[in-house]
Amino acid sequence: MKLIFRQYLASLRERRELDAVVPDLLSELGYTVISRPSIGTRQYGVDVAALGPPDSEGKRRLYLFSLKQGDLTRADWDGTPQALRSSINEIIDVYIPTRVAKAYRKYDIVICLCFGGDVQEAVRDNVTMHTNGLTREGLSFEEWNGDYLAGLLVDGVLREQLVRPELRTYFQKAVAMVDEPEVAFTHFAALIRGICATTGTTPRQRTTILRQLSICLWVFFVWARDTGNIEAPYRASERALLHAWQLVHEDIARTSKASEEVGVAYADLVDLHFTIWDALVGEKILPFVDKQHAISVAVNSAASADVNLKLFETLGRVAMRGLWHLWFKAGSALLPELRSDWESPEASELAQQTVQLIRNNPILLTPITDEQVVDIGVAMLFLSMLEQWNPAACNYAEALIERTTLAYRTHNRYPTIHGDYRTLIDHPHERTDEFRQAQTKGSTLFPLLALWAASLGGAKGAAHLAQFAAKFLGHCNAQFWIADADTESCFYVGDTQHGASLGGLPITEDGAELMRILETECAPSAAFLQLSAVRLGHWPILALACRHYRLPLPPDLWIGLMKQLRAKNELADAAPAERTKRKRRAWPKSTAKARKPVRKSR
């Protein structure tokens, strides 16, 4: 275990990695962290300042940490303003006289030279002579190299009484199998489940658990990054956020100091998720979305199902990051809303990249499993929240309708109710009407596309889907998933046997009848409003859980946005005749009879 941490620490970069791990490690070891690293302000050589715990004589000391990446070489030691020798001089000449608060001046000071690797032999004597010459009463030096830090990680944050031996085994197997993402993720998911499977914890203990998760995930990520395969850490970061939310969400609403520490630790875990997202999606995928078929070819598989599944998963990941950007900008908004003044350049850029991803990879117009409705739903939700990107969302909805209905009519790769890989790789293995009906007995995709196309102003696509449903989908139960009383206890930890199905939904040209049904159903939805992610204003957690566990976004989440879209496109109060004239119907009016919606528990 120590060798694993040793390698991990040696691979950490100085900014946003080593300086993110050290403060949490110090806090867990009983140090009182006084200052953390900051960007944009001068630090005068000190990256982290902390008051140490009492020693055997009850004496405390003030530790000033200067962090460096990897091994300490001659170039890192001297010759530049960022070198360690320059940092030591700045600490003594400027930081100690001016930055140490009066309350801490009574303590002896220890300057810690902290780095993930070792001091190279060529510079060892220089370091020793310089630090010996500066040592005096009240001022001393310590060296915290990678081996020492690794020992602190093993004996401190991951000490025996907090992480059981069997959980360490899961961790070691996950790290060892980073080249096999599915296997590595399975072991790390077991580690997450084991660490979070506690009851009756105090806020202090929950903070410790979050730090354990964060450090283990950092190790997992750095090892995977070195091998060039970050898929497993990305999935693990999503799973960690969800399990951690189930554990600590009640602390988010509290204002005690201990609960605030829990909130800070959870925010650090979210930041780590974004760091992993940047390394996987931001650096490896987004730079190529403007190239025709580039992402599809990068899947490197001769099976079209592999390309299809990976591309829709990528679409969901990109759009999910966009929802996080908008949530950060929304402030007090409890649910998604349509706005034209988000003032989020990051979200606007991601919206453009989302559209480029779809435009240059047309396989994203042909979902092959109904489960992909969650990736489509996240993308539609993201684009629809940005008013300037509503036309793109409308175009995507209509293109999906056109391609999906064509695939159905031609017995090609139409969306099936099954989601297992063995079925999808050979779908459809029969081209008969009976087989096709059996594969499409239910659908959450078709009613979602119908409603979104109509609400965004896609009259032609909505009319086409209504006609198609009347002719071909008489056997299909159009439905949505909604939260129920048991959802909160199961949702974030991966138990999908919860909630209810609202079935028998009508697919019509304007979507008005379906909207009335959803408004009636969602109005008294106390179960949805009591979901912690909704109640506490963290609705991206809800969307993330749906995408991670492959559940459709519940209509309660997006119905408010849908009302805004319909009002914007004058669908809410328009008379039927006026609505029909405005849409320039290209298809005969549907003669399908709407079935009474039925709500069933899962």
pLDDT, tens digit, 9 for 90 and up, residues 236-283: 999 999 999 999 999 988 888 888 889 988 998 999 999 999 999 999
Residue (of 454, 516, 503, 509) closest to 475 by Cα position? 503
| Lowest-pLDDT range of 15-19, 325-329, 411-415, 539-543 | 15-19
pLDDT, tens digit, 9 for 90 and up, residues 176-187: 898 899 999 999
Return d(Cα 259, Cα 263) in angstroms, integer: 6
Q: Which DSSP string do the residues of 548-593 spell out, in sequence order?
A: HHT-PPPHHHHHHHHHHHHHHTT-SS--HHHHHHHHT--SPPP-PP
Q: Which pTM value belongs to this model?
A: 0.80
pLDDT band at 169 (very low <50, low <70, confident <90, very high): confident
Q: CA 169 → CA 165, 176, 243, 424, distances in Å?
A: 6, 10, 20, 34
More confident residue, 38 or 167: 167
Greatest mean pLDDT among 84-88, 118-122, 441-445 lies in 441-445
pLDDT band at 571 (very low <50, low <70, confident <90, very high): low
Residue 196 · residue 244 · CB < 8 Å:
yes
Q: CA 253 → CA 207, 279, 544, distances in Å?
A: 15, 32, 20
Residue 79 contacts by C-beta under 8 Å, 6 or more apart in sequence?
Answer: none
pLDDT, tens digit, 9 for 90 and up, residues 189-245: 999 999 898 877 888 889 888 888 888 898 899 889 888 899 999 999 999 999 999
pLDDT, tens digit, 9 for 90 and up, residues 471-497: 999 999 999 999 999 999 999 998 888
| Lowest-pLDDT range of 91-95, 136-140, 328-332, 545-549 | 328-332
Mean pLDDT calculated for residue range 546-555: 96
Tokens representing residue 265 in the block = 């630790």
How would you classify residue 525: left for phi > 0, otherwise alpha for psi between -120 and 50, otherwise beta? beta
More confident residue, 9 or 126: 126
Return d(Cα 189, Cα 27) in angstroms, integer: 25
More confident residue, 1 or 462: 462
Q: How many residues does the chain have?
A: 602
Return d(Cα 571, Cα 578) in angstroms, integer: 10
Mean pLDDT calculated for residue range 534-538: 93
Residue 559 · residue 518 · CB < 8 Å:
yes
Please report the pLDDT score of residue 583 as a whole number. Answer: 36
For residue 428, whether the previous peptide bond is cis, meaning omega lies within 30 degrees of 0, is yes
More confident residue, 105 or 317: 317
Please report the pLDDT score of residue 162 as a whole number. Answer: 44
3-state SS record for 449-462: HHHHHHHHCCHHHH
3-state SS record for 256-299: CHHHHHHHHHHHHHHHHHHHHHHHHHHHHCHHHCCCCCHHHHHC
Q: What is the sign of the dihedral through the CA atoms of 581, 587, 593 and 596? A: negative
Is residue 580 pLDDT above 70, yes or no? no
Mean pLDDT calculated for residue range 398-416: 97
Q: What is the sign of the dihedral through the CA atoms of 504, 509, 511 and 512? A: negative
Phi first, then psi, for residue 163 (nearest 5°) are -120, 115
Residue 527 contacts by C-beta under 8 Å, 6 or more apart in sequence?
Answer: 482, 483, 484, 485, 487, 488
Please list the helix, strand and coil fractions of the chain in percent, rounded to the nearest 5, in that order. 60, 10, 30
Is residue 573 pLDDT above 60, yes or no? no
Q: What is the sign of the dihedral through the CA atoms of 577, 581, 585 and 588? A: positive
Please report the pLDDT score of residue 163 as a whole number. Answer: 57
Greatest mean pLDDT among 17-21, 437-441, 566-570 lies in 437-441
Residue (of 593, 571, 357, 538) closest to 456 by Cα position? 571
Is residue 315 pLDDT above 50, yes or no? yes
Residue 509 · residue 454 · CB < 8 Å:
yes
pLDDT band at 21 (very low <50, low <70, confident <90, very high): confident
pLDDT band at 296 (very low <50, low <70, confident <90, very high): very high
pLDDT band at 14 (very low <50, low <70, confident <90, very high): low
Phi first, then psi, for residue 142 (nearest 5°) are -135, 150
Return d(Cα 458, Cα 40) in angstroms, integer: 47
Residue 212 · residue 263 · CB < 8 Å:
no
| Lowest-pLDDT range of 127-136, 154-163, 300-309 | 154-163
Please report the pLDDT score of residue 198 as a whole number. Answer: 80
pLDDT, tens digit, 9 for 90 and up, residues 515-533: 999 999 888 668 899 999 9
More confident residue, 49 or 1: 49
Residue (of 20, 141, 11) closest to 85 by Cα position? 141
What mean pLDDT value characterizes the chain?
Answer: 87
pLDDT, tens digit, 9 for 90 and up, residues 323-379: 999 999 987 668 999 998 888 899 999 999 999 999 999 999 999 999 999 999 999
pLDDT, tens digit, 9 for 90 and up, residues 33-79: 998 877 656 778 898 999 999 988 889 999 999 888 888 888 888 87
